[in-house]
Amino acid sequence: MNTSLLKSATAALLFAAALGAQAQELKIGYVNADRVLRDAAPAKAAQAKLEAEFGRREKEVAELASKLKAAGEKLDKDAPTLSEGERTRRQRELVEQDREFQRKRREFQEDLTQRKNEELASVVERANKVMKQIFDSEKYDLIVQEAVFAGPRIDITDKVIKALNAQAPASK
């Protein structure tokens, strides 16, 4: 078990025990962050934005991979009939094309990962603001995002998603 999770759970139990001794009801909420990042409208909008932004490049990389594969198959097929010099030249060209393909694929993946992280951070920031508003307005004592088990009675994920969906789209 994760030690920070264990410490958090222990702290929550001690907090609950202390409040229970004072005959006050503890109000705890749980939010499934994965569901928020998958189902909330801002998360879906971010995903659509990334697909629009990177779709063309993804297609170009896939086409380059297909061309490289076809060139390799053609070289394999033609190799027995080629002169040694021609076969060597085409092998070098194929190796150079493969290097170019690997470079473009790596750049694409790095750019996509960076943009995904930026979009994810924006959605997480908005979700955290919504959770803080719910925390304050409904007078929660504790809202957690990670838990080993959480019952439906304390799950406020739908409330967070609904509040995020109700917000106007973030302007950049």
Q: What is the pTM of this model?
A: 0.70
CB 45 within 8 A of CB 122: no
Over range 22-28, report the average pLDDT: 74
Average pLDDT value over all residues in the chain: 88
Q: Where are the domains of the chain?
A: 3-166
pLDDT tens-digit readout, 47-69:
999 999 999 999 999 999 999 99
Label residue 41 by pLDDT band (50, 70, 90).
Answer: very high
pLDDT at residue 21 above 60? no
pLDDT tens-digit readout, 149-172:
999 999 999 999 999 999 866 544
Over range 1-27, report the average pLDDT: 60
Architecture in CATH of 3-166: 2-Layer Sandwich (3.30)
Rounded to 5°, angle at Cα 28 from 25 and 31: 165
Q: What are phi and psi of 82, to 5 degrees?
A: -85, 150
pLDDT at residue 130 above 90? yes
Label residue 79 by pLDDT band (50, 70, 90).
Answer: confident
Residues 6+ apart with CB under 8 A from 133: 163
Over range 92-115, report the average pLDDT: 96
Location of structure tokens 């409208």? 41
Give residue 6's pLDDT.
55
